[in-house]
Chain A
């Protein structure tokens, strides 16, 4: 059974600080990794994808990938109250067309 593990939270971060979200996965052959944001009652929204080891930056978001450790993370700089949501880590199944989702980390940015 291929798995994606995330701490369910809630993770509480003061406004303006850096929020750090972590994820580990079991499928060693995976090549594609994603972070989705889901607001309550809404569907997930893709915010970052990463395919290569290292860091990828997009605005206030940085995704980090370490395939050797099977570890993906998401950093959110200058956290805003609007960043409060559930963040889903997702990993492309290496042997099927589907993506495997973690259960999500609930992030709360306190003013």
Chain B
């Protein structure tokens, strides 16, 4: 149980384009989803927290207009990187939790974004 999927697993795009990443909870309802970014050999950096049906809460220093998050249902959240630049190249990972799971977060497999 507690499976989280992400799509796509890998994406390469040109600078200036937008990329959408989907995160789905497959066997539970995710009241809260989290988006992280991880650069090589560095720790996870929380970008934003999203609750179903409400606006995402962004961490300090994360541009909300650049990283658009939508959590339209209890099983799906999307992250759109708008006007991507090479410095946005990173490993993006979502996680999901449900109050019934006692605050545990379950991670998706991650999306590796490369911006040329």
Set B49, B107, B108: member contacting A98, Cβ < 8 A: B49
A interface, size bucket? 20 to 34
Contact of B104 with A46 in the complex, beta carbons under 8 Å: yes
Answer whether residue A101 sits at the interface, using C-beta atoms and an 8 A cutoff: yes
Which single residue of chain B is at the shortest CB-CB distance from A49?
B104
Set B43, B91, B103: member contacting A92, Cβ < 8 A: B103
Contact of A34 with B104 in the complex, beta carbons under 8 Å: yes
Contact of A43 with B43 in the complex, beta carbons under 8 Å: no
Interface centre among A36, A42, A43 (most CB of B within 10 A): A43
Binary contact readout B72-116 vs A (1 if CB under 8 angstroms, 0 otherwise): 000000000000000000010100010000111111111000000
Q: Which residues of B contact A (CB under 8 A)?
A: 32, 34, 42-44, 46, 49, 51, 91, 93, 97, 102-110
Q: Which residues of A contact B (CB under 8 A)?
A: 32, 34, 36, 41-46, 49, 51, 88, 90, 92, 96-99, 101-104
